[in-house]
Amino acid sequence: METTIKQFAVVEIGGGNDIGSSESISDPAILKRSPSPTERLGWLYRAALTCYNEGCSEDIESNRLHWLRKARDYALEAHELEPTDVEVLSLLCSSTGKLAEDSSSLDKVKYGFEFQKYLDRAIALRADSYEFLHMRGRFQYQVLFQSN
């Protein structure tokens, strides 16, 4: 399914709207016009990636958390459609992990456990991925120093 996402990334849905733009992300009619699960998965992945990038570049904390939550929601929906897609899991881990880093203490713990769950799934699928192993190392380091 990874190659399907990459192939779909260049396809446009609808009347010339760029799916990656902020205006089209908020338009749920695009999802209703997506006839196949592959197109829906591609749209969700790109929407999650766009929201994640927007959240990471946002300076105002409340706006940053809003974009990161949207990114996590889109990535989670894409993961539910295709649970073995490593690219979707990577984005889900990244958005959940960033959300955990930037949230309040209570949410930090909640999102931290959720991040660990998705990261374990990703490592089970691709144990040789330096990206996932790096995420695990950072997570363990932060947990160690949060408890001190």
148 residues of the chain, pLDDT tens digit each: 444 444 444 333 333 334 444 444 455 565 566 458 888 999 999 999 999 999 999 999 999 999 999 999 999 999 999 999 999 999 999 999 999 999 988 899 999 999 999 999 999 999 999 999 999 988 888 888 875 4
Q: What is the CATH number of the domain that holds 57?
A: 1.25.40.10
Tokens of 125: 């699928």
Specify whether the CB–CB gap between 45 and 78 falls below 8 A: yes
What range defines the domain where residue 112 resides? 2-146
Q: How many domains does the chain have?
A: 1
Q: Structure pTM?
A: 0.74
Helix (H) or strand (E) holding 95: helix 86-102
